[in-house]
Amino acid sequence: MIEVRELEKKFGDFTAVDKISFEVSKGEIFGLLGENGAGKTTTLRMLSTMMKPTSGHAVLNGYDTQTEPEKVRTHIGILFGGETGLYDRLTVAENISYFGELNGMSKDAIKDRLRQLAQAFGMEDFMDKRASKLSKGMKQKAAFARSIVHDPEIMLFDEPTSGLDVTAARDVHEFILRCKEKGKTIVFSSHSMSEVEKLCDRIGIIHKGRLVECGGIEELKEKYGNDNLEEIFIRLAGAK
């Protein structure tokens, strides 16, 4: 479903992502674990075709990010952490519809989808309210709905709980698990060990642009003889 081979990104002399390779199977949650500046966001930006790799390849759903970026984009949904990134002067329905239209959905399909999403996220009461008038929780629901309006097979989450309180972070976790239930393939970046442990099937530990370890959580615990993922992370990040 996602195949990353020797993916590299350089900004001048600085190597942000250093020839990383990993695979994510359909319906799997893959966690990219790393400190701030490790290269997680740059990796996700390359997967979402926002950035072009300096070398290497990333193939999503059979489409190469460099040769068929438009097709890649129709198959992905993305959610960023911190601000929800909604258009304040548009209503929730307009925000979601805009992304539906941009992703090639017909007006009728968008209408049906809006109904489904409003019901799924309990947004019926505020679909016609402008985003600026919403509470943080409402905005978050709208952002979730917007990211999956076109029903993408692949979801990319870039530190989605960054800056959120416990309840909001929990909502994000539930949303990610819901995506998994629907069979979506998920890449999820975080620097929180507990979050990664709670959600991910497999993880890749990224440090200074390099993927220093990759595998199932239990597999890694067994390999390093330690039950504490944080200690494994410190050991790997400190050693490399």
Partner 1 sequence: MKLKHAMIVFKKEVKDLIRDRRTVITSILLPMILIPAINIIMGGSVQNFEKTINENVSVALSQASDTDEIKKFVQEKILSKNPNLVLKEPDDPQKALENEEIRCIIDVESGYREKLEAGVPIKITLLYDESKTKSSTAAEIVTQAVNDFGSDIIRERIAALGLSTDILQPVAIEKSNVAKENQGSNMVLQMMLPLLISMLVSVGGIPAATDLVAGEKERNTFEPLLTTMPDRSSLLIGKYMAVTLFSFVSVAAILAGFAIGYAIDPNSMTMGLDQQVGGFAIEPLAIVLAILITITLGMTFSGIQIALSTFAKSYKEAQTYLSFLMLAAMIPGYATMFLQPSDLSTVMFVLPVMNTISAFKMLLGGNIIYSDLILALGTSIVFVILTLWLASSLFKKEKVLFRS
CA atoms within 13 A on the CB side of 8: 11
Q: Which of residues 188 and 233 has its CB atom nearest to partner 1 in the complex?
A: 188
**Amino acid occupying residue 34:** G
Distance CA 30, CA 190 (A): 11
- Answer whether 73's CB lies under 8 Å from 50's CB: no
Indicate if the alpha-carbon torsion angle 95, 75, 182, 174 is positive or negative.
negative
What is the smallest separation between the CB atom of 79 and partner 1, expressed in angstroms? 8
Euclidean distance between CA atoms 8 and 21, whole angstroms: 9
Could you list the residues that contact partner 1 (CB under 8 A)?
11, 45, 48-52, 69-70, 73-74, 76, 78, 80, 82-90, 94, 98-99, 101-104, 130, 146-147, 156
C-beta closer to partner 1: residue 9 or 202 = 9
Q: Which two tokens stand for residue 29?
A: 């949650």
For the bound state, the minimum distance from the C-beta of residue 106 to partner 1, rounded and expressed in Å, comes to 12
CB of 65 to partner 1, least distance (A): 11
Nearer Cβ to partner 1, position 23 or 101? 101
**Minimum CB distance to partner 1 smaller for 154 or for 237:** 154
Least Å distance, CB 234 to partner 1, is: 29
**Shorter beta-carbon distance to partner 1: residue 143 or 217:** 143
Q: How many C-beta atoms lie closer than 10 Å to residue 26's C-beta?
A: 12
Q: Which helix (H) or strand (E) holds 222?
A: helix 217-223
Shortest approach of partner 1 to residue 22 CB, angstroms?
20
The CA-based diameter of the chain, rounded to the nearest angstrom, is: 55
